[in-house]
Amino acid sequence: MKNKIFVFDLDDTLYKEIDFLYSAYREIARWVELKFSLKDIYSFMLRAYENKSDVFSLLIRTYDLPLTKDDLLDMYRLHFPVICLDGDTEGVLNVLSLNYRLGMITDGRSITQRNKYRALELDRFIDDNDLIISEEFGSEKLSEKNFLFFQDKYINADFFYIGDNLRKDFITPNRLGWTTICLLDDGRNIHSQDFSCPEIYLPQLAINTLKDLLSLPGKNEDILITKNNYE
Ligand SMILES: [Mg+2]
């Protein structure tokens, strides 16, 4: 039997990116309140976000802060987030990692994504050497290079990619013959999912919860066995 390699996207797949946003807003609000003797900044920012405003520009303008938008963007990206895996995700990663090698391919800035990886304590399940962050790797999310890294490292395996973004997550692994799996939006995703795209962009499977990875249909009977470890 071939070995299986499960490679995950990070944002809105292993945790909800909106929780990173809340964490960053809380930290920025606390700092702004202390520094400029203000209050209720967090709720101001949340309201602005819900109104789809340019939150940082509006904050600076409303309170006449001696800051630039880039100052606040840096704080957003560089802060160490207070985020955690939900119980189901933790359980699924635990079971899968007992039986299979897990990896991650994620877009974004190195420091931001590494902070998330650390905050979520993902090193329990995904080795640092199997973590591909596009900025560090000198690639874009769509780049074949990210996926070939795993194919070259783990010869003669079946590869799975689990993500959420139809615009960029599945086209490349589809081309390379991976099994692509989309975690469906539960209403909390930052980017909406649009399934009306060319077929090559579509995932082969769609799941409502990562727990469904433990009972994939068809060729993955051995995963079914591991489900007993979880329930
Ligand atoms: Mg994502």
End-to-end CA distance of the chain: 25
Measured CA to CA, the distance from residue 207 to residue 180 in angstroms comes to 11
Measure 37 CA to ligand 1 centroid, in angstroms: 37
Tell whether 216 and 151 lie within a shared domain. yes
Measure 72 CA to ligand 1 centroid, in angstroms: 23
Per the structure, the count of domains in the chain is 2
Tell whether 10 and 52 lie within a shared domain. no
Measure 64 CA to ligand 1 centroid, in angstroms: 35
Tell whether 161 and 190 lie within a shared domain. yes
The total of other beta-carbon atoms located within 10 Å of residue 151's CB is 16
What is the per-residue pLDDT for 216?
79
Domain boundary among 39, 54, 78: 78
Question: Which helix H or strand E contains 74, and what residues bound it?
Answer: helix 69-78
Domain boundary among 78, 93, 110: 78
Measure 40 CA to ligand 1 centroid, in angstroms: 31
Count helices and strands in the chain by DSSP H and E runs: 10, 6
Q: What is the CATH number of the domain that holds 98?
A: 3.40.50.1000
What is the per-residue pLDDT for 228?
41
Q: Which of 53, 51, 55, 2 is nearest to 24 (CA)?
A: 55
Measure 207 CA to ligand 1 centroid, in angstroms: 14
Residue type, position 207, single letter: I
Which residues in the chain come in under a pLDDT of 50?
219-231
Measure 164 CA to ligand 1 centroid, in angstroms: 5
Mean pLDDT of the chain: 92
Measure 161 CA to ligand 1 centroid, in angstroms: 11
Q: pLDDT tens digit string along 49-73?
A: 999 999 999 999 999 999 999 999 9
What is the per-residue pLDDT for 215?
87
Q: pLDDT tens digit string along 202-227?
A: 999 999 999 999 987 654 444 443 44
Tell whether 207 and 158 lie within a shared domain. yes
What is the per-residue pLDDT for 1?
59
Q: For residue 61, give its domain range.
A: 18-78
Measure 17 CA to ligand 1 centroid, in angstroms: 8
What's the Cα-to-Cα distance from 47 to each of 36, 140, 164, 170, rounded to whole Å?
20, 33, 26, 34
Measured CA to CA, the distance from residue 139 to residue 162 in angstroms comes to 19
What's the Cα-to-Cα distance from 203 to each of 86, 98, 108, 175, rounded to whole Å?
24, 25, 22, 11
